[in-house]
Amino acid sequence: MEAIPSQASGTLWSFRLANGVARFTAGFKVIARNRLALVGLGLIIVGIFCALFAPFLVTHDPYEINIAERLQSPSFAHWLGTDFMGRDTYTRMIFGARTAFQVAIGAVVLGAMFGIPIGLLSGYFGRWVDMAFMRVMDSILAFPGRLLAIALVASLGGGLFSLYVAIGVNSIPSYARIVRGAVLSQKEREYVEAARMTGEADTFIMFRHILPNCMAPILVRLSLDFANAILTESSLSFLGLGFPPPTPSWGLMLKEVSPFLELQPWAAFFPGLTISLMILGFNLLGDGMRDVFDPRQYQR
């Protein structure tokens, strides 16, 4: 007797998996048609690959100081030259990908982890819940761009956790607003009504029924948010408010070589280019996904 329900649930899960794979493949096919999004995805994959396999891709120790070889131009020994302490720029840039992704993942997760439930609760319950949450979101939005991140890092101090909070807090309102908007458009639909009629709990309806139907704008936001997190981390490190030296962070690398700009421009050129390419990758993918999730795209 016990075998039947487990078999049934197994079938259900395999159906769900197949459905998920089919949707993913359909989405990827549309992205693949958008060449720019594909370029973006390629850039991101290269970035993730560098972050994961950094120790196997580098030619030197990222912390090895060699004053005799300081501020060198690109050569066979140092592919992208060296910085003001003779450290290999290429090696530090590859390890910099680790730093960037580490911060970006933490900050994006934190933003989404708070923003999505706030948006769900606001949209679903409305009234004073909505008003209270939205006023708090408005007050976060009352601080322009990076100002709040700078203020938070200034008081919390540097380090990984502070960066998560400083960058993550900034993105909470955008998730909350997107999800709230999506919930408002979904909650009057028949499937939600049907779920309510069957007596399902509000939490279950919110997370199991409504949230999956709001995933499209959330995924677009996630991609754009990664770009923003990488930019904010490098900006904070450039200002000396992020990671302390000698951490291989792209922003910190730029800060350290900026006094030697005229002497060795390459040392500033490559880290900046890498940040731009990474941000470009996430922006292109975000734009591409927006096209995918636009229903008109499916009809074409």
**Residue 122 interacting with other proteins (CB under 8 A):** no
Find the shortest distance in angstroms from Cβ 31 to other proteins.
Answer: 17
Those residues with Cβ within 8 angstroms of residue 300's Cβ, 6 or more apart along the chain or in another chain: none
Window 270-299: residues binding other proteins (CB under 8 A): 271-272, 275-277, 279-280, 283-284
Find the shortest distance in angstroms from Cβ 75 to other proteins.
Answer: 21
**Residue 216 interacting with other proteins (CB under 8 A):** no
* Nearer residue to other proteins within complex by CB, 70 or 146: 146
Cα–Cα distance list, 245 to 112, 248, 253 (Å): 30, 8, 9
- Return the residue of 81, 115, 248, 251 that touches other proteins, per CB under 8 A: 251
**Residue 139 interacting with other proteins (CB under 8 A):** yes
Window 18-37: residues binding other proteins (CB under 8 A): 36
**HSE-up of 241 (CA within 13 Å, CB side)?**
22
Stretch that binds other proteins, among 9-17, 45-53, 86-94, 145-153 (CB under 8 A): 145-153
Total residues interacting with other proteins, rule: CB under 8 A: 45
Find the shortest distance in angstroms from Cβ 148 to other proteins.
Answer: 8
- Return the residue of 85, 150, 215, 216 that touches other proteins, per CB under 8 A: 150
Place of tokens 């720029």: 89
* Nearer residue to other proteins within complex by CB, 34 or 283: 283
**Residue 84 interacting with other proteins (CB under 8 A):** no
Stretch that binds other proteins, among 12-20, 93-101, 152-160, 184-192 (CB under 8 A): 152-160
**Residue 245 interacting with other proteins (CB under 8 A):** no
**Residue 42 interacting with other proteins (CB under 8 A):** no
Find the shortest distance in angstroms from Cβ 23 to other proteins.
Answer: 28
Q: Which residues bind other proteins (CB under 8 A)?
A: 36, 135-136, 138-140, 142-148, 150-152, 154-157, 227, 231, 234-235, 238-241, 251, 254, 258, 261-262, 265, 268-269, 271-272, 275-277, 279-280, 283-284
